[in-house]
Structure 1
Amino acid sequence: MKKFQQRAYKRRWAATTRHLKKQCRQSTLELESDDSEQENDTTSTPETVTKYMDAAETASCTAAGADNATYSGPDSDEPDENDADWRLIDHHVTLSSDSENESDSDCFEDHLSLWATEYNVKHNALDSLLKILKKFGHPDLPSTARTILNTAREVKTQVKSGMEYYYLGLGSELLKHFKMYPLHKRTQVNALEISLNIDGLPLFRSSGKTLWPVLCAIVNMKPTVVFPVALTCGTSMPIDLDFLMDTILDIKTVLQHGLHDGYSGCDKCCQRGEYFGRITYQEIENLVPRTDASFRSQTYAEHHYDGDPSPFCQLPIDMVKTFPVDYMHQVCLGTMKRLLLVWIRGKREVKHSADQIQQISDRLEGMRTTFPSTFARKPRSLKEIDRWKATEYRQFLLYTGKVVLRGILRPDLYDNFMTLSVAVSILVAPKLAETHMIDYAHQLLVHFVTQARNLYGVEFLVYNVHSSLHLADEVREHGSLDACAAFPFENFMHKMKKLVRSGKRPLAQVVKRLSERSKKTA
């Protein structure tokens, strides 16, 4: 029996490995394909995504070629080619590191993590596999299973009802599992009906250790998916019902305020998003702004997560204007990266050939020898796009892009890019902002978003792109985009990381190093 299980395990691993290699070739070696030659005078037409499989469904289907693959999510329709393109782009934009100095996860690492989770691979087995992969062709992979799986280093539990207790959260878990269902099923329901179950589960024959989970199920959608809300463990039954209080309070909050679904996620305007395979914001002009008064009174309840006021409300500040749109994340790591990925890996109508992408890369690398030393980084090839940092996207948007794209990128796409480049160039320069060019920059951004929807489709107008429409207001309030950007903070985060020398009490190490430096400057 044991040998049979080993053979079955090896078959699943071989099939999954083939699937992973295929996925990696499609996503990371896309530049080698010449199947999508584009003519410069081609006009693109927007297409609406009609089918979509989100990340959770993708995770459950990653090892679809494996024998006896375990089903882990609701049924879903097969995505069409355009859906796959947008999921790949969304995936890489999401994986963009907020920090200027952290590495991006590559495709193979992500799929390996999904495989290990799907088949419940033990950590020691995965540790051994990682050592082999690092030795034979994958030196950049993590060394341990805990790293690749993002295993929590510490689980903080409480004591309730005489037992060890951990609460996962009803609202967050309910929303997460609801999003696993295909779009056409989600749009057919106006309310969710849930069922709760509590029962004891003996863990070992040799002891009385028993797990008492609070389980939840969405019963008015098929197939029914069961998930834990709270976990309780002890050697006997709970001595009281105190372990249910968090769940009850969470149910009360959900009944009063509904689920925070991200459709009202914009901090600057009251627009409610629309779902086209992802949450998008289709309104471009005549946006209704949020105000300090409406925020404090929670006029738009779905914009507030749990109904509790923000702790910042205790301060005498404007709760909308005081929190600016950070263009490092929204424009550089958001819109600019999204544009590049669309040109490289997007839909056939706007995707450029491998030869064209190579020409752009050659131009970028050709600048390295004469690039000014005032720039922190020299231009890199588009083959390394997944490892670009925010400063490199900023550099491309404001300086190099307009040069290396000219004559290669399709003319209508190039004009659209230049609209964004000129607008942001105005808004990052305080002197230009002082010359009353802010209104002109806003007009350019409105034109950019409008044309981007026509060129790339409604799916392109995600929150990052929508945020561009609020950049001019941020400059009016703060002086320039650089005056309220996260770049200096990210740089300091890197300095703080260098203060940690070992894994033992990292926080204490940082405090000590900062104390040493403060004595030198005193």
Structure 2
Amino acid sequence: MACRSYWTKRRRTLRILDSFEPSSVNGSDVLGDVDPEFNLALNDNAEEEDDIFMDCTSSFDDCYTNDKRVDGVISDGDCYGDESDTEDDGESSNEDGTENECSKLTRGLCDWALRNYVPQNTLSDLLGVLRELHPNLPKQARTLLQTARIAANVKNIKGGEYVHFGILTYFQAIPAYVLHNVSETIGLQINVDGLPLYKSSALQLWPILGKVPFEKEPFVIGMFCGKTKPLDLDEFLYDFVEEVAKLENGFEVAGKTFTLKIDCFICDSPARSFLKNTKGHNGYFGCERCTQEGVYVKNHMTFPEKTAVLRTDDQFLNKEDEDHHKGNSPLTQINVAMVTMFILDYMHLVCLGVTRKLIRFWMKGDLCCRLGSQAVKAISARLVQLTEHIPVEFQRKPRSLSEIDRWKATEYRQFLLYTGPIVLQDILSSSQYKNFMNLSIAMYLMLSPALCKYYCDFADTLMTHFLNEFEQLYGADEIVYNVHNLSHLADDVRRYGALDGISAFPFENYMRKLKKICRKPQFVLQQIHRHITLERAFVTPKKNKNPDKTILKIKHTCGPTIATLPHCTQYKKAIFELFCVATTVGNNCVMVQGNLGLVQNILCDERTDTNYIIFRRFLKLDSLHSSPLDSKDIGFYKASNLESTNHVHLLSDITKKYVLIPMTSEWAAIPLLHSN
């Protein structure tokens, strides 16, 4: 990206336009035939917005269908002209080093600004400072990003506005080396949800998001913006349904032919009923999986029946249960199984639903199930004491129950699977604790990629026990939609595997990104469209980590070493593909060749490039609990008697990482999900 060649192209553009008649230059006939890069040059004089990227690339297709695009980055010629322009300008060859340096800096600035949502005026100020050292840099952010004032294709629909980003354009933006290893049938997960933008306004987004298995982050397919949800489902889904219907018949990207297959829809309950055009969770026939009629009790719609007839995809298409349907769904026009392909998302159903409900029962429920204030304080104290023992894989540390209204879904998940079984012991009644453990173990089994294959039926049985006990403990009037649907969760595991692979967590994380992009309540869709278009054009895709490569970090010289290996370098941290092991509390408990213990040091023999760990074993491993199953069967232990002798193992001998939680005189060791 030779910085000077941009100005060369600009001067040439102006010379060409000067050769036209004045009346023709201002007319649309001439400009309509000018090369898109000339239009870019002319539009650089457009007025600059102070605090948002209100400019966008000339078009998405211009960025991604150009042959000069390599590995997800716009090539030098795309932004500033080709090398012949530079040579014609008479620049000497001894400036090549400066040009290359400027090119790298320019690309880095574009990448940095878009990844970190830097306002345009801030980026322009930074360029002003950097130009003192690098005078070839452009003065303004709009020039750096090569933007042109061309509006997104926003159309008005009932209730607001809609813009379609497209599925095919996303695939066209993926580097060829990534698509080369992708199977010919691409499975696509879909998420639709509402996102309030501001606390003081009713303005909200309804994005249609997609996610493919070979990319970690979702992408935007289409987006609605208005003061209410889309009022016409057919209008909202029209572009999406039309494009999916075409791509299901095959499409070509990077010289390879693919077909698109929708795997599932991952949404919360209101969004699922909206997309399917069916009764909601408060309706008498609101259950999506069975045909039972709800019972309205104490201002709650309950679903007490446990053996109701299950719905089928064919019955849905034929509308055999008329009371369940509100109208037609445009999704029936494409290959979507309207019952089995709509996931009961555990993030909303279990974490934000049932787990939060249980904690509120214990804190503010009826006298028959409510805990005393001292018991609640004791649970909170235990949670806070666990802060230093929580591994780095968790985004949040445990918080007091006094902040329960601010807990996020990931905190409820952590409580249900790891901390709750320990901190609730000897505080809940035996019947309440047994009921909680049935839910905890059932969810752990269905979330584990390794265990769900063998324990799915057992987890389903535990859910049945949980529901029966829940009704006795908390009342039949509390068997509401979320609680009832626990009985259907195992069906999704049988079809799709572990629940973590079909959860809304990655989509909810991406929603926060969309919120960061919106800096003004005006032209919201334009802001998002332009930012994402620029991001796809300039941000270099991160290559997936080599699963066989382990990264060692933080050198030190104070740990135990191996006398026979004097040339070893000591490290405090080793980063694997799925987890991190360190010598610090909370991250040092691992399983090594069937032995549970603590990592004391991490070593690397520089001569052979072999990595080792210094390791101490727990000499006594008992079952953490015997009900609802012997915990040893799934790797849960009560560990004690840490030996004083150090052992040496290869770093690659580590098979899984553990969450190690202190008890009175022992340790509770629970395997970290996805760390095998």
Tell whether the 8 Å contact from 2:447 to 2:498 is kept in structure 1 after alignment. Answer: yes
Q: Using the TM superposition, give the Cα deviation of residue 417 of structure 1 relative to its aligned residue in structure 2, in angstroms.
A: 0.2
> Per-residue displacement from partner, 1:222-250 (whole Å, max 9, x unpaired)?
xxxxxxxxxxxxxxxxxxxxxxxxxxxxx
Residue in 2 that maps onto 1:294: 315
- Which residues of 2 match residues 161-172 of structure 1 at below 5 A? none
Select the residue among 420, 438, 443 that pairs with 1:401: 420
Select the residue among 469, 472, 477 that pairs with 2:490: 472
Select the residue among 379, 386, 390 that pairs with 1:360: 379
Residue in 2 that maps onto 1:484: 502
Tell whether the 8 Å contact from 2:447 to 2:500 is kept in structure 1 after alignment. Answer: yes
- Which residues of 2 match residues 415-434 of structure 1 at below 5 A? 415-434=434-453
Alpha-carbon distance in 2 for matches of 1:413, 1:259: 30
**TM-score scaled by structure 2?**
0.39
Alpha-carbon distance in 1 for matches of 2:537, 2:312: 44
- Which residues of 2 match residues 120-159 of structure 1 at below 5 A? none
Q: Per the alignment, do residues 401 and 154 of structure 1 end up closer, same or farther by CA in structure 2, a change over 3 Å counting?
A: closer
Matched, 1:442 2:442: no
- Determine helix, strand or coil for the equivalent of 1:302: helix
Q: Using the TM superposition, give the Cα deviation of residue 283 of structure 1 relative to its aligned residue in structure 2, in angstroms.
A: 1.1
- Which residues of 2 match residues 233-272 of structure 1 at below 5 A? 262-272=283-293
Residue in 2 that maps onto 1:128: none
Alpha-carbon distance in 2 for matches of 1:463, 1:427: 20
Residue in 1 that maps onto 2:537: 519
Aligned length: 279
- Determine helix, strand or coil for the equivalent of 1:275: strand
Q: Which runs of 5+ in 1 are unaligned?
A: 1-97, 104-141, 157-166, 169-256
Select the residue among 281, 284, 291 that pairs with 2:303: 281
Q: Per the alignment, do residues 400 and 297 of structure 1 end up closer, same or farther by CA in structure 2, a change over 3 Å counting?
A: same
Q: Per the alignment, do residues 259 and 514 of structure 1 end up closer, same or farther by CA in structure 2, a change over 3 Å counting?
A: closer
Residue in 1 that maps onto 2:393: 374
Q: Per the alignment, do residues 260 and 456 of structure 1 end up closer, same or farther by CA in structure 2, a change over 3 Å counting?
A: closer
- Determine helix, strand or coil for the equivalent of 1:376: coil
Q: Per the alignment, do residues 102 and 396 of structure 1 end up closer, same or farther by CA in structure 2, a change over 3 Å counting?
A: farther
Alpha-carbon distance in 2 for matches of 1:452, 1:366: 29
Alpha-carbon distance in 2 for matches of 1:464, 1:330: 5
Amino acid at match of 1:299: E
Tell whether the 8 Å contact from 2:281 to 2:287 is kept in structure 1 after alignment. Answer: no
Residue in 2 that maps onto 1:389: 408
> Per-residue displacement from partner, 1:90-136 (whole Å, max 9, x unpaired)?
xxxxxxxx899999xxxxxxxxxxxxxxxxxxxxxxxxxxxxxxxxx
Amino acid at match of 1:301: E
Q: Per the alignment, do residues 440 and 259 of structure 1 end up closer, same or farther by CA in structure 2, a change over 3 Å counting?
A: closer
> Per-residue displacement from partner, 1:36-59 (whole Å, max 9, x unpaired)?
xxxxxxxxxxxxxxxxxxxxxxxx
Q: Using the TM superposition, give the Cα deviation of residue 502 of structure 1 relative to its aligned residue in structure 2, in angstroms.
A: 2.0
- Determine helix, strand or coil for the equivalent of 2:367: coil
Residue in 2 that maps onto 1:459: 477
Tell whether the 8 Å contact from 1:264 to 1:273 is kept in structure 2 after alignment. Answer: yes
Alpha-carbon distance in 2 for matches of 1:272, 1:391: 33
Tell whether the 8 Å contact from 2:291 to 2:310 is kept in structure 1 after alignment. Answer: yes
Residue in 2 that maps onto 1:351: 370
Matched, 1:510 2:528: yes
- Determine helix, strand or coil for the equivalent of 2:427: coil
If you compute each CA radius of gyration, which structure gives the higher value, 1 or 2? Answer: 2
Residue in 1 that maps onto 2:324: 303
Alpha-carbon distance in 2 for matches of 1:391, 1:467: 20
Amino acid at match of 2:388: T
- Determine helix, strand or coil for the equivalent of 2:517: coil
Q: Using the TM superposition, give the Cα deviation of residue 261 of structure 1 relative to its aligned residue in structure 2, in angstroms.
A: 6.4
Alpha-carbon distance in 1 for matches of 2:333, 2:532: 30
Tell whether the 8 Å contact from 2:281 to 2:481 is kept in structure 1 after alignment. Answer: no
Residue in 2 that maps onto 1:36: none
Residue in 2 that maps onto 1:19: none
Alpha-carbon distance in 2 for matches of 1:368, 1:477: 37
Tell whether the 8 Å contact from 1:344 to 1:351 is kept in structure 2 after alignment. Answer: yes
Alpha-carbon distance in 2 for matches of 1:407, 1:260: 36
Q: Per the alignment, do residues 394 and 99 of structure 1 end up closer, same or farther by CA in structure 2, a change over 3 Å counting?
A: farther
Q: Per the alignment, do residues 265 and 358 of structure 1 end up closer, same or farther by CA in structure 2, a change over 3 Å counting?
A: same
Alpha-carbon distance in 1 for matches of 2:279, 2:308: 24
Amino acid at match of 2:322: A
Alpha-carbon distance in 2 for matches of 1:397, 1:154: 36
Q: Using the TM superposition, give the Cα deviation of residue 439 of structure 1 relative to its aligned residue in structure 2, in angstroms.
A: 0.6
Q: Using the TM superposition, give the Cα deviation of residue 470 of structure 1 relative to its aligned residue in structure 2, in angstroms.
A: 0.5
Q: Per the alignment, do residues 410 and 258 of structure 1 end up closer, same or farther by CA in structure 2, a change over 3 Å counting?
A: closer
Q: Per the alignment, do residues 374 and 100 of structure 1 end up closer, same or farther by CA in structure 2, a change over 3 Å counting?
A: farther
Q: Per the alignment, do residues 484 and 259 of structure 1 end up closer, same or farther by CA in structure 2, a change over 3 Å counting?
A: closer
Alpha-carbon distance in 1 for matches of 2:408, 2:436: 19
Q: Using the TM superposition, give the Cα deviation of residue 504 of structure 1 relative to its aligned residue in structure 2, in angstroms.
A: 2.3
Residue in 2 that maps onto 1:498: 516
Tell whether the 8 Å contact from 1:402 to 1:418 is kept in structure 2 after alignment. Answer: yes
Tell whether the 8 Å contact from 2:196 to 2:202 is kept in structure 1 after alignment. Answer: no
Q: Using the TM superposition, give the Cα deviation of residue 302 of structure 1 relative to its aligned residue in structure 2, in angstroms.
A: 0.9
- CA RMSD of superposed structures (Å): 2.9
- Determine helix, strand or coil for the equivalent of 1:350: coil
Tell whether the 8 Å contact from 2:279 to 2:324 is kept in structure 1 after alignment. Answer: no
Residue in 1 that maps onto 2:350: 331
Q: Using the TM superposition, give the Cα deviation of residue 495 of structure 1 relative to its aligned residue in structure 2, in angstroms.
A: 1.1
Alpha-carbon distance in 1 for matches of 2:496, 2:356: 25
Alpha-carbon distance in 2 for matches of 1:280, 1:261: 9
Deviation above 6 Å: which 4+ runs of structure 1? 98-103, 153-156, 257-261
Q: Per the alignment, do residues 479 and 494 of structure 1 end up closer, same or farther by CA in structure 2, a change over 3 Å counting?
A: same
Alpha-carbon distance in 1 for matches of 2:317, 2:354: 30
Percent of paired sites with the same residue: 41
Q: Per the alignment, do residues 101 and 404 of structure 1 end up closer, same or farther by CA in structure 2, a change over 3 Å counting?
A: farther
Q: Using the TM superposition, give the Cα deviation of residue 393 of structure 1 relative to its aligned residue in structure 2, in angstroms.
A: 0.7
Q: Which runs of 5+ in 2 are unaligned?
A: 1-192, 204-224, 233-277, 541-676
Alpha-carbon distance in 1 for matches of 2:502, 2:227: 36
Alpha-carbon distance in 2 for matches of 1:452, 1:258: 26
Residue in 2 that maps onto 1:318: 337
Alpha-carbon distance in 2 for matches of 1:391, 1:101: 20
Q: Per the alignment, do residues 451 and 100 of structure 1 end up closer, same or farther by CA in structure 2, a change over 3 Å counting?
A: farther
Q: Per the alignment, do residues 432 and 155 of structure 1 end up closer, same or farther by CA in structure 2, a change over 3 Å counting?
A: closer
Q: Using the TM superposition, give the Cα deviation of residue 259 of structure 1 relative to its aligned residue in structure 2, in angstroms.
A: 11
Amino acid at match of 1:439: D
- Determine helix, strand or coil for the equivalent of 1:431: coil
Tell whether the 8 Å contact from 1:100 to 1:491 is kept in structure 2 after alignment. Answer: no
More strand by share: 2
- Which residues of 2 match residues 66-77 of structure 1 at below 5 A? none
Q: Using the TM superposition, give the Cα deviation of residue 407 of structure 1 relative to its aligned residue in structure 2, in angstroms.
A: 0.7
